[in-house]
């Protein structure tokens, strides 16, 4: 098995594939940034739950989707071959405020709304709607 060059893209693809198969759960290898990203999605109400299973260093993230919500539209913005950065002035609302963009900033991972409030920019990891 070859190493994954884009772990966040791999997580988002696993989530898209699980929802396309009408599964309520999916799993992905653990990493700190993926766990933080999923915690942010849980706090914003996009997913139902996230749990860590297994013993280190072989931990997995288990993502549980909300059964009553429609399928998420997940798009990777910044990729390893083409990073996408945005200043606070360039952060536009996703779907007129109905979606969310996830950024990694100097103050940690946050949504586009929170980044505009704190007046910081950063790398736009993905959009969810």
Q: What is the pLDDT of residues 15-45, one digit of tens each?
A: 999 999 999 999 999 999 999 999 999 999 9
Domain match, 53 and 33 both? yes
- The domain total for the chain is 2
pLDDT > 70 in the chain, percent: 98
Q: Is pLDDT at 2 greater than 70 in this prediction?
A: no
Q: Is pLDDT at 14 greater than 90 in this prediction?
A: yes
Q: What average pLDDT does the segment 52-63 reach?
A: 94
Task: Output the pTM of the full model.
Answer: 0.93
How far is C-alpha 9 from the chain's CA centre? 9
11 backbone φψ class: left, alpha, beta (φ>0; ψ -120 to 50): alpha
| CA pseudo-torsion sign 88, 92, 97, 102 | negative
Domain match, 12 and 60 both? yes
The whole-chain average pLDDT of the chain stands at 94
Q: What average pLDDT does the segment 2-16 reach?
A: 92
Listed residue (92, 95, 96, 83) closest to 124, CA to CA: 83
Domain match, 11 and 60 both? yes
Is 59 among the domain residues?
A: yes
Q: Which domain holds residue 27?
A: 7-64
Return the beta strands (E) in 21-121 as ranges: 25-29, 49-53, 60-64, 74-76, 85-86, 100-105, 108-111
Is 114 among the domain residues?
A: yes
Domain match, 52 and 95 both? no
**Alpha carbon distance 27, 21 (integer Å):** 14
Band of residue 93 on the pLDDT scale cut at 50, 70, 90: confident
pLDDT of residue 125: 97
Q: Is pLDDT at 87 greater than 90 in this prediction?
A: yes
């Amino acid at each position: 098995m070859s190493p994954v060059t884009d772990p966040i893209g791999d997580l988002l693809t696993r989530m898209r594939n699980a929802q396309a198969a009408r599964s309520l759960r999916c799993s992905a290898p653990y990493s700190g940034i993926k766990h933080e990203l999923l915690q942010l999605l849980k706090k914003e109400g996009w997913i139902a739950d996230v749990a860590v299973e297994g013993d280190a260093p072989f931990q997995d993230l288990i993502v549980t989707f909300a059964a009553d919500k429609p399928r998420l539209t997940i798009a990777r913005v910044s990729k390893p071959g083409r990073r996408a950065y945005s200043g606070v002035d360039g952060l536009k609302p996703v779907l007129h405020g109905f979606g969310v963009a996830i950024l990694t900033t100097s103050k940690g991972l946050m949504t586009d709304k929170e980044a505009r409030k704190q007046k910081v920019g950063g790398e736009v990891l993905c959009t969810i709607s």
